[in-house]
Amino acid sequence: MSDATASAPSTATKLVAEALGTFLLVFGSLGAALFAADFGTGSNGTSLGIGFLGVALAFGLTLMAGIYAWGPISGGHFNPAVTFGLAAAGRFEWRNVAGYVIAQIVGGAVGTTLLVLIGLFGPNGWLSSAQDAGFASNGFDEHSPGGFGLGAAIIAEILFTAIFVLVILGVTHPQRGTAGFAGLVIGLTLTFIHLASIPIDNTSVNPARSIAAAIYGGPDALIQLWVFLVFPLVGGVLAGFLHRALFEKQPVAPAQREARTR
């Protein structure tokens, strides 16, 4: 057995890394949304909350931290749409997709469960108010922060997820990518995606994040959850196939070329 093979992380280790990275993403970013986004105003009337900008940065920074901490172990997907997109692009084996997705969902659910645990010891009525407000779940129509409808949510989730996965595939390319800066670029990309789309549907682009929030977001969040499961996956897979068609074309070997001309 070679040294490289001996030091390669096991499947179980990779799954633990995926669960930890998704946990960090959900716990940190949704924690920022629930605890700090709207923290009221100071004595001079200035807002004490971090607002959309702070929440968007929380998503980007937690993802960046997870990529640098555990990305070398598992690849740093932390998102079923990314896993599907990488598989569609030929960068990840389809047989390993289910295990990664399950680990991501578990990690995200643990994240929101711990947020609920913190909320149990919060101010009187805080947890019930947070749950009544949807617990930072994704939504459309009356559950959209900006009042956007189903069609807007579908288009946004497909397009923004596709952009996200295309950037990931570009910056992590084995020959053309910039490995040392990949985590920074990917984190900043998730930040701008949230800046643009939080008003539309509270931004998913990650089914594990959507599931984690909807578990505690009440019946309406669960009813609308299907949109934030299906369409981020559609966007991720489309991006994977598109990247593969445009940038991962394999040149025809000389022997194959000769055989085709006979």
What tens digit of pLDDT does each residue of 100-141 get?
A: 999 999 999 999 999 999 999 999 999 999 999 999 999 999
Give the range of the structural domain holding residue 53, as residue numbers without chain letter.
9-246
Lowest-confidence region among 16-25, 77-86, 206-215, 248-257: 248-257
pLDDT for residue 2: 38
Residue 251 falls inside a structural domain: no
Residue 242 falls inside a structural domain: yes
What is the reported pTM? 0.91
What CA–CA distance (Å, rounded) separates 209 from 29?
Answer: 10
Q: What is the mean pLDDT of residues 212-235?
A: 98
Residue 261 falls inside a structural domain: no
| Residue pLDDT, tens place only, 150-168 | 999 999 999 999 999 999 9
Contact criterion met (CB below 8 Å) for 85 and 240: yes
- Residue 47's DSSP bridge partners are 41
Q: What is the mean pLDDT of residues 81-92?
A: 97
Contact criterion met (CB below 8 Å) for 203 and 193: yes
Contact criterion met (CB below 8 Å) for 194 and 56: yes
For the chain, what is the domain count? 1
Residue 137 falls inside a structural domain: yes
Residue 253 falls inside a structural domain: no
Task: Burial-class residue 181 by CB neighbours within 10 Å (0-12, 13-18, 19+).
Answer: exposed
Q: Which H/E stretch holds residue 35?
A: none
Q: Which two tokens stand for residue 119?
A: 């909320």
Q: Which two tokens stand for residue 250?
A: 């394999």
Residue 124 falls inside a structural domain: yes
Residue 42 falls inside a structural domain: yes
Q: What is the mean pLDDT of residues 36-56?
A: 83
Q: What CATH number does residue 224 fall under?
A: 1.20.1080.10
User: How is residue 253 annotated by DSSP?
Assistant: P
